[in-house]
Chains A and B, each alone.
Chain A
Amino acid sequence: MVDHAGDLADRVWRRYDRKERLIRYAVLLVTLMVVYWAVRDIDIFWPWVWDAPTQISRLGARMWPPDPSRLGQIVGAMIETVHIATLATLLTIFIALPVSYIAAQNTTPNRFCLWLGRFILVSSRSVNTIIWALLFVAIFGPGVLAGILAIMFRSIGFIGKLMGEAIEEIDRRPVEAMEATGASKLKVIAYAVVPQVMPAFFAIVILRWDINIRESTVLGLVGAGGIGVLLQGSIDTFAWPTVATILIAIIALVLIGEAITGLLRSKVL
C-alpha cells in the first residue's frame, strides 16, 4: 500500500518533453526575429504614417459629395465589368472540366495526362489575375478581350482544381455498376461521374463568378477593360468626387452579386 502511494507521487506528466519544448521556444524566437527583420527592412517613412488621419479626412473632404454627373458612363462600365466576369466564367468551364478530368487521380487516362493536368492547374493558379491581364494587354492591346482572357486563365486553375477534387471524392460503386453493364467510357462518365459532381460543379462555378466580378473591377487599372479604366482615369485627373461615385458603385455591384449568388445557391443546391 505504502509502495503504491510512493509510485503515485513519482508519476509526473508533461505534455511536452525537453526536446519538444526546446523546439517550440526556437520556433517562437525565429518568428519574432523574422518579424523584427521585416519591419526593419521595409523602411516605413513614419511621419507619413502619423500624418495618415489628416490625409484621410482631406481625401474624404475632396471626395464629398460624390459627383453623379457621369453616372450613365459608370453604369455602362459596370455592365461591361459584369460581362467580362460572366463570359470569362462560362468560357473557363469548357477548358477547366477536361483539365480537371485528366488531373483527377481516379479518372486520368495515364501518368502523363495527370502531370499535364496538374501543371496546367498549378501554373494557372500561381499567376495573379492582374499579372495575366498585364500579359494579355501586351499581347492583344488594351480592352475587354485582354480582361476576359486574364480572368479565364486565373479561373481555369481554380475551377479545375476544385472540380478535380470533387471527381476524386466520388463513390466508385456506381462507376463499377455502369462498367458492368457494358457501357463505354463516355457513358460511364455521363451516368456515374457527372451526376455525382453536379452539386459541387454549380457551387464552384457560382463562387468563381462571384470572385470574378470582384477581380474584373480592378482589371481596368492595367487597361484590361471594365470599371477600373474609369477609376484609373478619374484618379489620374484628380476627379475625386467621380472616384467616390465609382467606389460606391463597385460596393453596390459586389453586394448585388453577393445577393444573386446567394439566391442561386439556395435555388440550385
Chain B
Amino acid sequence: MLEISKLVKRYGRDEPVLKELDLVVEGNSVVSIVGASGAGKSTMLRCINRLVEPTSGSIKLNGQELVNLRGAALRRARRKIGMVFQGFNLIDRLTVMENVLAGRLGYVSLYQAISRRYPQADIERAFTLMERVGIAHYANKRADALSGGERQRVGVVRALMQEPEVLLADEPTASLDPRTSEQIMKLLQSLASELSLPVLINIHNVAQAKAYTERIVGLRHGKMIFDGTPADFTREALDAIYGGIEAPDEDEGEDTKKPALATRKEVTDDPL
C-alpha cells in the first residue's frame, strides 16, 4: 500500500510543483495519472523513489516512511520500488541480460555486479520474466539493437527484477507507436494482477488510461482534481484537467491550451 500525504515539491523559490498532494494506492490496483505537461505527474513519481527530493510531506510504502531516508536505508527502500521510464533508460552498450540483471544491483555485492557473477536464482528469474514478455531470445544482444517496444519490455523486466512492492511507470508509452504502446499497457496491466503489484502510470493518452487502468487520477497545477474510475472520467473531467477545450475564450494561458489540443487529437486518432 502506498500512502502519499501532504506532498509538496518546490524547485528553488518558484511556485510549488506539487501542492499538498494526497494519494492512497492499495493492493494490486493499476492507477493512471493524467495531466498536462508541467502538472507535476513526473515530479510526483520521482518523489516516491526520491530521484527528486520532496520539499515536505509524507510518503509511506507498506507502512515505511520514505521521505526521511538516507544512504543505505534509502537504497534498501529503492530496491522495493521498480521504475519504468519514458526513454527506457537502458544501458545501450550492454546486453539485454546485463540490463535486466542490473535490476538486482541493490541486492548483489559490488564484486558480483562487476564480474557479472549473479546468483543462479537471479538468472532464473531473469529468464522467466524475459520469457513472460517475449524477449528471452534477445538475452545476449546489445540493448541498442532492439526496437522501441522491445526496449521498453527490457525496461519493465529490469524493474520487475527488483521484486518491487510498487511499480512506477513514467510515460512508459510516450516514445512508442500506438500499437506497441497498447501492448506495453496490456503488459503492465496483466503483470500487475499476476504479481499482485500496485502500478502507478503517468500517461498522456487518455483513451489508453481509460482502457487499461481501473482508476484515473487527474492532476492540474500540482493538485489532484479528479480521482475515480474510467467510467466517471467524463468530458467535463477531461476539460477540467487539460483546460479550456470546449471554451477556448476561457481565461487560460497558451501553455495549457496546447497540450490539451494534442491530447484531444490522440483521443480521436486512437484505433480503440
Which of B7-15, B102-110, B177-185, B264-272 touches A? Answer: B102-110
Q: When the two chains form their complex, are residues A183 and B105 in contact, meaning their CB atoms are under 8 A apart?
A: yes
Residues of A within 8 A of B79 (CB): 181-182
Q: Is A162 an interface residue (CB 8 A)?
A: no
Residue of B nearest to A191 (CB): B102
Residues of A within 8 A of B93 (CB): 195-196, 198-199
Residue of B nearest to A172 (CB): B89
Known: A173-B89, A196-B93. A179 touches B77 (CB 8 A): no
Chain B proximity of A68: nearest CB distance (Å): 49
**B88-112, CB under 8 A of A: which get 1 and which 0?**
0111111000100011111000100
The A/B interface has a contact count, at CB < 8 Å, of: 76
- Which residues 167-219 of A sit at the B interface, judged by CB distance below 8 A? 173-174, 176-184, 186-188, 190-192, 195-196, 198-199
The tally of residues in B whose CB lies under 8 Å from a CB in A reads 29
* Complexed CA–CA distance, A190 and B94 (Å): 11
Residues of A within 8 A of B49 (CB): 180
* Complexed CA–CA distance, A188 and B89 (Å): 13
Residues of A within 8 A of B113 (CB): 183, 187, 190-191
One of B77, B92, B102 near A178 (C-beta < 8 A): B102
Residues of B within 8 A of A198 (CB): 93
Q: When the two chains form their complex, are residues A181 and B51 in contact, meaning their CB atoms are under 8 A apart?
A: no
Given contacts A177-B90, A177-B102, A183-B106, 8 further A-B contacts (CB under 8 A): A181-B158, A182-B76, A182-B77, A184-B105, A186-B110, A187-B110, A196-B93, A199-B93
The 7 listed contacts between A and B (C-beta, < 8 Å) are A177-B90, A177-B102, A182-B77, A182-B79, A188-B105, A195-B93, A198-B93
Query: A interface vs B, CB < 8 Å?
Result: 173-174, 176-184, 186-188, 190-192, 195-196, 198-199
